[in-house]
Amino acid sequence: MIILLALALYAATGIAIAIAFLVFGVTRVLATPVPVTLGARIMLFPGAAALWPYVLIRWLKSYQ
Amino acid sequence: MWKLHRRRKGLDHECRLWRRAVESGEAVYDGFLLASVTLYISAYLTVVYWLDPPNDQLSAIDLRIRAFGSCAFFMLTTILSIGPLARLDRRFLPLLYNRRHFGVLTFFVVLLHASFMVEWYAVQDALPSLYDELTKVSDYGKFIGFPFKALGLVALLILFLMAATSHDYWLVFLTPPVWKGLHMALYVAYGLVVMHVALGVMQYDHNPFIPAMLASGLAWVTLLHLVAGWRERAGDRASACGSDGWLAVGPPLSIPDKGARIVAAQGGERIAVFRDGTQIGALSNLCAHQNGPIGEGRIIDGCVTCPWHGYQYRLQDGCAPPPFTEKLVTYRARIANGVVEVDPRPLPPGTSAAMRYE
């Protein structure tokens, strides 16, 4: 049961961070910022949620 | 602009025609894929229902599990065949263009297979026993009796990660080597699926079609890779070089206009030597996008164009035209005694190195 709880927590955190990243950070992390359309952001959502730890690290680094 | 798909904008009419052909081909490709999957699932359910009608709800769910599971196996086998087939015969190249769409669709078919499996437990109020089956540590030490569903779930996770990162944005975000490494996990997923079937349904269903399907799929994929690899070895052999180490390509006119000849340095590194009229340039043969064979492409509107996805690079310096930022390694070229020669020592990506000859 603890495994299921951990997975649920990972997924919930990923969803929240992915939404924030796709709204505020998706262009910041690129070496050459390029506009990203709404359709592309929707397509990027699953990947951002699945890879949220790395996405978060890169996003925070972009502010340094 | 990152749209649903990042596309190259060519100024040349021929390039625009090429792009329109590729993009209209996408719709045909996707339509054909969806139709094939729908046809397979429908035919499977219809034929098996006719031969051996399920007599209860569980049997009906089991039928759907097998339909989607077998469909997914055939799809994975086909996807893994596309790469080597395209290397063996250029007529298979169009299958490579939208292979990602194929992969994403395969993920959804596998997801449906897994969801029917969960449904099979749910209708019996037996979901806790599925959880127990997956978490019983002692079973992981067995061969026969290994929790084969766990193998399937790991394969599903791999396919999810691949589908979720199939957009070109992730190629840039993760960097091409990391992205490519992630997507090579498809081979791991395929192996897990083979074991999932071998340790699962094959243990209690002795229909000879199942091992035949598994063995022939695995043998086909393996054979294709071996044959393609053997053919590629010939291209990896180092080309003749002079006493100063420069590689001989051939007379300038032996390089097709708007095309290339590919030579190999020591270690198998391939160099694409293009000719555009009287201009000769040498670039890395690997496209910065997904390592496509640049040398098998053409020069369109002054840009070397990768045959896989249309990524373009200026012949002069290996740089993608603005606003794109990819750069290829370039090489020095010269003409000595009427023969084009290339210095196999790479220059930094984006270094201007192309030459003109009279």
pLDDT by residue (tens digit) across B82-91? Answer: 999 988 988 8
Domains of chain B plus CATH, in order, are 13-235 (no CATH), 247-356 (2.102.10.10)
**Measured between alpha carbons, how far is B132 from B282 in angstroms, rounded to an integer?**
60
Q: How many domains does the structure of chain A reveal? A: 1
* pLDDT interval class at B108 (50, 70, 90): very high
Residue A17: which domain range?
2-61
At B137, list the tokens.
């540590």
Instruction: Give me the mean pLDDT over the B149-159 stretch.
Output: 95
Can you give the pLDDT at residue B11? 34
Residues of A in contact with B172 (CB under 8 A): 30
Helix (H) or strand (E) holding A60: helix A52-61
Q: What pairs with residue B334 in β-bridges?
A: B341
Mutation to test the B interface, candidates A44, A54, A55, A59, most B Cβ within 10 Å = A44
A15 and B CB contact within 8 Å: no
Can you give the pLDDT at residue B236? 66
Q: What is the pTM of this model?
A: 0.82
- Per-residue model confidence as pLDDT tens digits over B248-298: 999 999 999 999 999 988 777 889 999 999 999 999 999 988 788 899 889
ipTM: 0.93
A5 and B CB contact within 8 Å: no
DSSP, residue by residue, B218-276:
HHHHHHHHHHHHHHHHHHHSPPPB-TTSPEEEE-GGGSPBTEEEEEE-TTS-EEEEEEE
Q: How many CA atoms lie within 13 A of B56 on its CB side?
A: 4
